[in-house]
Structure 1
Amino acid sequence: MFQAKWLWLAIAGPMIISPPSLLQARSAYRFYLVSRHGDPFFQRAYEGCKQAEAELRQDLLCFPRPADDPAGQAKVLADLVARKVDGIAVAPYDDPAVIAQLQAAAAAGIPVLTWDIDLPPGSASLRSAFVGTNDYDLGANIGKLVKMLKPSGGSICIQSNSAASAKNEDRVWGIRDALAGARSPQAPGKQLTGQGGWTELPGCPVFTTDDFATTMGKIKEILTSYGGVGAFVSASGLSGFDEASYSDFMVNYAQAIQDRNLAFVIADTFEGQEDVRKRLWNKNVLNGEVLQRPFRMGYALMYTLRDIRDGAPTPAGPLYIDVDVCRSDNLEVCSGRDAVTY
């Protein structure tokens, strides 16, 4: 039986749980988890979705629907609307064809949640709620890790995905504010020119596509072009992570990382991939991680859709899933725990 305290810990706000009499009076809802691609982040979200299904089999069924591009996602959504499914959880592309299908879902009375990536403000009314990471806070946690590793400051380069993405701008904003020790008024924050002892290298931040090879190329470029880099942080861009390619290059900086002469902190999606993470830490090819929790996202999405379908009030704001902050002194507990019950 689902325990309300679990979801309270997983998201920022209490959920209303439908009475058992309602659960027993009807057949299971059919909810669909629509992603942007099929990488490990989506797989972990789907596992959380299936955990919710296992707990409430009589109440809901969870189905995966990956989509690799805007046209594919629009087609998936059109099919789900035509089938009049009970609910959709989508990590949406900001694309006119996708927005059009979400408008069709709203017109059909199908509840929609966004996850991981939200709709732009002008389209936010098409979804009932957003479930995902507070990206400013994720960035701030990266900045706090860097300050812990190198309290005297130094030179830094921030890498993230597209500068046109509000999600990525918020992460850069959080990093800069944490390092500067002061809140700036809006994303992407004030460039670091000595605040808190930190100065951004020329050409930084660097923005890449959601492609590991491109991100790795920028890491190599910065670390080899500037001697004595104080910190490099990757706020996103490790989709399709290639362990061998990363380790083969970063091992050249293992001693500097181990000695904290270089703070190398990444935001990644390795939740549940403890074998990969342990190897990276054992090789000293990073000294800080901020982990998102896609398992919890998938789990929370299903319960939230269920409650909305059962008549619970629409959540008043975003349902934020917390993150894991990993350091050398907390590796055994920073991730890999039961993603629901603690």
Structure 2
Amino acid sequence: MQKMINLTALACTLALMTAGPARAEDKTLAIVVKGLDNPFFDLIRQGCEKAQAELKAGYKCYYTGPASTSDEAGEVQIIEDLLTKGVAAIAISPSNAPAVANLLRQRKPSIPIMTIDADLLPQDQSLRRTYIGTDNYLLGVKLGEHLKALKPKGGSVCLVLGNVAAANINQRAAGTRDTLAGKKGVEKLTGENGWQEISGCPLFTNDDAAKGNQMMADVLTANKDLDAFVLEGGWPQFAPQAYAQLTDQYIDRIKSKQLVLVVADTLPPQIEALKQGRSDVQVGQRPFEMGYRAPFVMQDMVEGKTVQPIYYTGLDECTPENANTCLKK
């Protein structure tokens, strides 16, 4: 536990060091992500840095988070520390949505709070002013649509998820299941439209790339005729070498579409995996745009301006045919 606390403190220190000089009168607009070890969130950081050059004088975009995406308690502690320290506004990507909601309910912050990338649960969304990021249910729908097109007769499938309490990932899984089943409210596929989730799935990676690859390997060893994986987040592909080693063992099945992989996110290593035939579809979010737009939304809230309840940043749908042109410029 002490080691985890030290890692979180180190992450905060490093974030402060890289945030650039701040004046005492600066209003800090803080972005708190699930973990600094995830390359997806590094694009949010880059967006924050670009926004910094364009914000009004007197505002500072500050990016932080726990060292590891598995440190849910560390993220909650960082939010609490920011509330105690006093910042102008906070944008949170909650790793554990109920835990973050509990903190906000207890602290009753007077500053504007928004969510970014991941939202609070519906019953807790009154605790934040707005959300900016992906329509996560729609992302899951798109993954399901592509899988149906590739496997119109259905088959056996395994969903790969992140943290159990990550609301955004659970929303994607719901979108995928509803799309494959042809009806809403399906908690697990049990033969609807020919789709069956295998025993032992879904997999919960806890946002750990190495764990995700090992779990997929174990599933494939035990289920040699598996028809499809749906990765509701790109975690295994965030470790490109390990993912390549895994897919090398099944590359003939993948390229012949016997084993289909539809995957969320479109980071550079993921697009490369797509081009190499190690996945069939990548449905991407736009984390840079999230990180860029969030400071301006927080600035408006601090200044008392009206903001929309939701800002969706859109999706990119990438296939081998359009891999060179599918990403938004």
Do they fold alike, i.e. is TM over 0.5? yes
Is 2:59 aligned against 1:60? yes
**Using a 3 Å threshold, how does the CA distance of structure 1 residues 282 and 130 change in structure 2: closer, same or farther?**
closer
Alpha-carbon shift at residue 45 of structure 1 (Å): 0.7
**Using a 3 Å threshold, how does the CA distance of structure 1 residues 287 and 77 change in structure 2: closer, same or farther?**
same
Q: Measure the CA separation in 1 of the matches of 2:189 and 2:74.
A: 40
Q: Measure the CA separation in 2 of the matches of 1:278 and 1:92.
A: 26
Is 2:88 aligned against 1:90? no
Which is further off, 69-78 or 230-239?
A: 69-78
2:256 to 259, 267, 273: 259
**Using a 3 Å threshold, how does the CA distance of structure 1 residues 118 and 255 change in structure 2: closer, same or farther?**
same
Q: Is the 8 A contact 1:288 1:327 kept in 2?
A: yes
Aligned twin of 1:72: 74
Q: Is the 8 A contact 1:105 1:112 kept in 2?
A: no
**Using a 3 Å threshold, how does the CA distance of structure 1 residues 57 and 308 change in structure 2: closer, same or farther?**
closer
* Cα deviations by residue, 1:82-112 (Å, 9 ceiling, x for unpaired): 44321111223448875565357644x2111
Q: Measure the CA separation in 2 of the matches of 1:201 and 1:92.
A: 29
1:319 to 308, 311, 326: 311
In structure 2, list runs of 5 or more residues that go unmatched: 1-24
Letter in 1 for 2:51: A
Q: Is the 8 A contact 2:274 2:282 kept in 1?
A: no
TM-score normalised to structure 1 length: 0.78
TM-score normalised to structure 2 length: 0.81
1:196 to 193, 198, 222: 193
Aligned twin of 1:211: 208
Aligned twin of 1:152: 153
Matches within 5 A, 1:233-272: 233-236=230-233, 238=235, 241-268=238-265, 270-271=266-267
Alpha-carbon shift at residue 171 of structure 1 (Å): 1.7
Aligned twin of 2:279: 286
Q: Measure the CA separation in 2 of the matches of 1:59 and 1:328.
A: 46
Alpha-carbon shift at residue 199 of structure 1 (Å): 2.4
Aligned twin of 2:217: 220
Q: Is the 8 A contact 1:156 1:200 kept in 2?
A: yes
Aligned twin of 1:329: 321
Matches within 5 A, 1:45-56: 45-56=44-55
Matches within 5 A, 1:114-193: 114-180=115-181, 182-184=182-184, 186=185, 189-193=186-190
Letter in 1 for 2:44: A
Q: Measure the CA separation in 1 of the matches of 2:293 and 2:72.
A: 25
Q: Is the 8 A contact 1:255 1:284 kept in 2?
A: no
Letter in 2 for 1:45: I
**Using a 3 Å threshold, how does the CA distance of structure 1 residues 177 and 96 change in structure 2: closer, same or farther?**
closer
Q: Measure the CA separation in 1 of the matches of 2:136 and 2:169.
A: 7
Letter in 2 for 1:34: V
SS of match in other structure, 2:254 = helix
**Using a 3 Å threshold, how does the CA distance of structure 1 residues 161 and 98 change in structure 2: closer, same or farther?**
closer
Aligned twin of 1:21: none
Q: Which has the higher contact order (CA 8 A, sep 6+)?
A: 1
Q: Is the 8 A contact 1:28 1:57 kept in 2?
A: no
2:288 to 283, 291, 295: 295
SS of match in other structure, 2:264 = strand
Q: Measure the CA separation in 1 of the matches of 2:117 and 2:205.
A: 19
Q: Measure the CA separation in 1 of the matches of 2:211 and 2:153.
A: 31
Q: Is the 8 A contact 1:176 1:191 kept in 2?
A: yes
For these two proteins, the number of residue pairs brought into alignment is: 301
RMSD: 2.6
Letter in 2 for 1:202: S
In structure 1, list runs of 5 or more residues that go unmatched: 1-26
SS of match in other structure, 1:202 = coil
Alpha-carbon shift at residue 303 of structure 1 (Å): 1.6
Q: Measure the CA separation in 1 of the matches of 2:83 and 2:75.
A: 12
**Using a 3 Å threshold, how does the CA distance of structure 1 residues 239 and 159 change in structure 2: closer, same or farther?**
closer
Q: Measure the CA separation in 1 of the matches of 2:99 and 2:172.
A: 27
SS of match in other structure, 2:250 = helix
Matches within 5 A, 1:30-49: 30-38=28-36, 39-49=38-48
Alpha-carbon shift at residue 40 of structure 1 (Å): 1.3
Q: Measure the CA separation in 2 of the matches of 1:33 and 1:159.
A: 27
Q: Is the 8 A contact 1:149 1:263 kept in 2?
A: yes
Q: Is the 8 A contact 1:154 1:199 kept in 2?
A: yes
Q: Measure the CA separation in 1 of the matches of 2:72 and 2:277.
A: 38
**Using a 3 Å threshold, how does the CA distance of structure 1 residues 81 and 291 change in structure 2: closer, same or farther?**
same
Q: Is the 8 A contact 2:45 2:63 kept in 1?
A: yes
Letter in 2 for 1:41: F
